[in-house]
A and B are shown apart, each in its own frame.
Chain A
Amino acid sequence: MNNMSPEVALHRISPELRPLLSSVVRNGRVGLDSTNCLRVTDLKTGCTSLTPGPCCDRFKLHIPYAGETLKWDIIFNAQYPELPPDFIFGEDAEFLPEPSELPHLVQWDAGDPECLLQLVKELIQQYHHYQCLRLRESSRLLFEYDSLLEDPNYGHNMEIYAGRKNSWTGEFSARFLLKLPVDFSNIPVYLLKDTALDPGEDVALLSVSFEDAEATQVFPKLYLSPSIEHALGDSSALHIPAFPSGGCLIDYVPQVCQLLNNKVQYVIQGYHKRREYIAAFLSHFGMGVVEYDAVGFTKLTLLLMWKDFCFLVHVDLPLYFPRDQPTLTFQSVYHFTNSGQLYSQVQKSYPYSPRWDGNEMAKRAKAYFKSFIPQFQEGAFANGKL
Chain B
Amino acid sequence: MAASISGYTFSSVCYHSANTNADHEGFLLGDVRQEETVSISDTQISTAELLQVVEIHNHDPCAQLFSFYDYAGKLNEENLNTILKDRRKNVIGWYRFRRNTQQQMSFREQIIHKQLTELLGVPDLVFLLFSFISTANSSTHALEYVLFRPSRRFNQRITLSIPNLGNTSQQEYKVSSVPNTSLNYTQVIKEHGAEFFDKDGVMKDIRTIFQVYSALQDKVQAVCGEVEQSERVKENIQEDVNKLKQQIALRKRKTAEEERKLREAQNAESHPTPEENTEPSEASPLSRITFHTPSAPERPSTSPNPSSYTDLLSQDDSLLPSSSPPTSAALLPRPQAVGSPGHPTPGPLGMGLGLGLGLGASSNPVAAPSTPYLGNGDGSSSDSLDRQAAGQEDDEEDEDDDKEEDEDSSEYENLVSEAGHLPMVSASVLAQGRPAALSPDGDARGSQTT
Contacts and interface: CB of A to CB of B under 8 A. Distances in A.
A47 interface: yes
Contacts of B106: 73, 75, 86-88
Contacts of A99: 72-74, 111
B110 A96 contact: yes
B107 A88 contact: yes
Contacts of A51: 21
Interface in A98-145: 99-100, 102, 105-108
Closest 3 CB pairs of A and B: A44-B100, A99-B72, A77-B22
A89 to B, nearest CB: 7
Given A75-B106, A83-B65, A106-B71, A88 B21 contact: no
B377 to A, nearest CB: 91
A5 interface: no
A108 B71 contact: yes
Interface string A81-101: 001101111000100110110
Contacts of A108: 71
Contacts of B134: 49
13 contacts: A46-B101, A47-B21, A48-B99, A73-B102, A77-B23, A79-B21, A80-B65, A83-B65, A83-B66, A84-B71, A99-B73, A99-B111, A105-B72
Given A96-B110, A106-B72, A46 B100 contact: yes
Given A48-B18, A93-B104, A105-B71, 7 more contacts: A45-B99, A51-B21, A75-B101, A77-B65, A80-B65, A96-B110, A96-B111
Contacts of A44: 99-101
A80 B22 contact: yes
Q: How large is the interface on A (under 10, 10 to 19, 20 to 34, 35 or more residues)?
A: 20 to 34
A96 B71 CA distance: 15
Contacts, number: 73
Contact of A58 (B18, B73, B101): B101
Interface of A: 44-49, 51, 58, 73, 75, 77-80, 83-84, 86-89, 93, 96-97, 99-100, 102, 105-108
B109 interface: yes
Nearest to B141: A49
A86 B107 contact: yes
Contacts of A105: 71-72
B98 interface: yes
Nearest to A78: B22
B108 interface: yes
Q: How large is the interface on B (under 10, 10 to 19, 20 to 34, 35 or more residues)?
A: 20 to 34
B101 A88 contact: yes
A88 B65 contact: no
Contact of B100 (A45, A86, A88): A45
B278 interface: no
B167 interface: no
Contacts of A83: 65-66, 71
A318 to B, nearest CB: 55
Nearest to A46: B99
Nearest to A49: B138
Contacts of A78: 22
Nearest to B138: A49
B107 A97 contact: yes
A114 to B, nearest CB: 17
Contacts of B102: 73, 88
Contacts of B110: 96
A108 B66 CA distance: 13
Contacts of A75: 23, 98, 101, 106
Interface string B77-104: 0000000000000000000001111101
A96 B141 contact: no
A283 B245 CA distance: 164
Contacts of A86: 106-109
Nearest to B72: A99
A276 B361 CA distance: 166
Nearest to A95: B107
Contacts of B72: 99-100, 102, 105-106
A288 B74 CA distance: 81
A78 B111 CA distance: 23
B372 to A, nearest CB: 89
B22 A46 contact: yes
Contacts of B74: 99
A79 B22 contact: yes
B401 to A, nearest CB: 91
A205 to B, nearest CB: 29
A100 B74 CA distance: 10
A86 B134 CA distance: 20
